[in-house]
Amino acid sequence: MNRNVAILGATGSIGTATIDVLGQLADEGWRAWGVSGHANLDALATACEKMSLPPEWIVGSDPGLAAQFDSRRWPSSSRFESGAERLVALASADEVGVVVAAIVGRAGLESTLAAVEAGKRVALANKETLVVAGTLVCQAQQVSGAEILPVDSEHSAIFQCLQASQTPAERIILTASGGPFRDWTREQMEEASVAAALNHPTWKMGPKISVDSATMMNKALEIIEARWLFDIPAESIEVMIHPQSVIHSMVEFVDGSVVAQLSPPDMRLPIQYALTYPDRVACSAPRFDVTQRWDLSLEPADRDRFPALELGFEVAAVGGTAGAVVNAANEAAVALFLDQKIRFTEIVPACRKALENHSYERHPTLQRLIELDEWARAEVQRWHCGANF
């Protein structure tokens, strides 16, 4: 297998963890052949300097920021290019075997889709691409024969658990930490600060997914992601709260046997497995410590306090344009919350309202999905200016 990896979004939480994993696997011929960064090019240059073999190709996806950056900081042997369309070129380059899709949000759509169309192994962290365009990604995968392997820890767990049987699973049980507001009342959530929402109890992640975890919109996106990745109907997906983030998810078979995957929370394990599958190799993530007591709890999720979950199940059931609209409204509302322009508890209602106000289509084109993405963002801005969610 071609072990040249392109990391799209190499400066983020998943991107830097991927660089670490590839450093550990360098002796087996793995390398970051190509990398991209958006805003933090300084960090990208530093990461490239530290690699034993610098990347062949570096993309700065924001052309304005790339133009301002001192080009002498790039390794002399690397080719540097800028612009969103160069991401697509990197994702489909012949020299690349595996694409780690680690850009956050809808911004990762075109490059992730390009990697699928080019028949790459795609290690998928960018769940929003499946939420926005699940049907189109699956169609492209069937044509190209691309392998889409989950990086999301829950989906990696499900993927691993499914290997326990030839018989299809009856149910998928996604675990959720419950985020920082797991025990908060609705009234407390009304007053939630940005700092509190970003303070995730078990994972250290980028700001957007951290807020998504606090609203549980992250689990909603993961329900939709599971629907597409495993071709399983929404009714066969369940969510349970598991605050310790050690049981990463479970699968139930027809005989009632439930298979789970466990490991201390660390994204390097699912990232590495998406690269080396079907092989397993030693990983630098911490191991399960049998000398310590583990109190692992599971409880049902509270759909009243976390209305995002209902939204996730609905979108997973109807497909079509629903995912693009909810995802875009969520991205716009999360950005407003991070800017302290709206309350935490206004994020999910904004998504609900966008879903209900849009004209649903069952089989949209990519162009239509992109138009609806822009429409939903504009609607959220408009409502915000009218202070009415």
Residues found near ligand NAD in the complex (CB under 6 A): 9-15, 37-39, 61, 102-104, 107, 125-128, 152, 203, 205-206, 208-209, 267
Considering only residues 142 through 161, tell me which ones interact with Mg ion, judged by CB under 5 A.
152, 154
In the complex with ligand NAD, which residue's Cβ is closer, 206 or 319?
206
In the complex with ligand NAD, which residue's Cβ is closer, 107 or 383?
107
Q: Could you tell me the sign of the dihedral formed by the alpha carbons of 185, 191, 197, 199, in that order?
A: negative
Binding-site residue ranges: 11-14, 40, 126-128, 152-154, 177, 200, 206, 213, 218-219, 222
Q: Which residues pair with 35 in a beta bridge?
A: 7, 58
What is the closest distance, in whole angstroms, from the C-beta atom of residue 162 to Mg ion in the complex? Answer: 17
What is the closest distance, in whole angstroms, from the C-beta atom of residue 222 to Mg ion in the complex? Answer: 6
In the complex with ligand NAD, which residue's Cβ is closer, 47 or 389?
47
| Chosen from Mg ion, ligand NAD, none, partner binding at 321 (C-beta under 5 to 8 Å by type) | none
| Chosen from Mg ion, ligand NAD, none, partner binding at 364 (C-beta under 5 to 8 Å by type) | none
Q: Which H/E stretch holds residue 81?
A: strand 79-82
Q: Which residues pair with 176 in a beta bridge?
A: 241
In the complex with ligand NAD, which residue's Cβ is closer, 124 or 389?
124
**Strand order of the sheet with strand 171-176?**
258-262, 247-252, 171-176, 237-241, 299-300
Distances (CA, A) of 388 to 375, 383, 384: 17, 5, 6
In the complex with ligand NAD, which residue's Cβ is closer, 105 or 364?
105
What is the closest distance, in whole angstroms, from the C-beta atom of residue 209 to Mg ion in the complex? Answer: 8
**Residue 34 φ then ψ, to 5°:** -140, 145
- Nearest-CB residue to Mg ion? 152
Could you tell me which residues come within 8 angstroms of residue 129 by beta carbon, excluding any fewer than 6 positions away?
Answer: 101, 106, 108, 109, 112, 113, 137
| Chosen from ligand NAD, Mg ion, none, partner binding at 379 (C-beta under 5 to 8 Å by type) | none
* CA proximity to 270, closest of 60, 18, 1: 18
Please state, in angstroms and rounded to a whole number, the distance separating the CA atoms of residues 312 and 309. Answer: 5
In the complex with Mg ion, which residue's Cβ is closer, 265 or 320?
265
Please state, in angstroms and rounded to a whole number, the distance separating the CA atoms of residues 32 and 27. Answer: 13
* Residue 128 binds Mg ion (CB under 5 A): no
What is the closest distance, in whole angstroms, from the C-beta atom of residue 205 to ligand NAD in the complex? Answer: 3
Q: Could you tell me the sign of the dihedral formed by the alpha carbons of 378, 381, 386, 388, in that order?
A: positive
3-state secondary structure 123-136: EECCHHHHHHHHHH
Tokens linked to 237? 């997906």
Binding-site residue ranges for 1-deoxy-D-xylulose 5-phosphate: 127, 153-154, 177, 200, 213, 218-219, 222
Distances (CA, A) of 202 to 205, 252, 260, 302, 316: 10, 25, 19, 19, 26
DSSP assignment of 277-292, as one string? TT-----SSPPP-TTS
Size of the site for Mg ion (CB under 5 A): 2
Could you tell me which residues come within 8 angstroms of residue 386 by beta carbon, excluding any fewer than 6 positions away?
Answer: none
| Chosen from ligand NAD, Mg ion, none, partner binding at 88 (C-beta under 5 to 8 Å by type) | none
In the complex with ligand NAD, which residue's Cβ is closer, 230 or 383?
230
Binding-site residue ranges for NADPH: 11-14, 40, 126, 128, 206
In the complex with ligand NAD, which residue's Cβ is closer, 104 or 118?
104
What is the closest distance, in whole angstroms, from the C-beta atom of residue 296 to Mg ion in the complex? Answer: 17
What is the closest distance, in whole angstroms, from the C-beta atom of residue 84 to Mg ion in the complex? Answer: 26
Cβ burial 88-123 (10 Å sphere, 16+ → b, else e): bebbbbeebbbbbbbbbbbbbbbbbbbbbbbebbbb
| Chosen from ligand NAD, Mg ion, none, partner binding at 214 (C-beta under 5 to 8 Å by type) | none
What is the closest distance, in whole angstroms, from the C-beta atom of residue 324 to Mg ion in the complex? Answer: 20
What is the closest distance, in whole angstroms, from the C-beta atom of residue 305 to ligand NAD in the complex? Answer: 22
Summarize as ranges the residues that interact with Mg ion (CB under 5 A): 152, 154
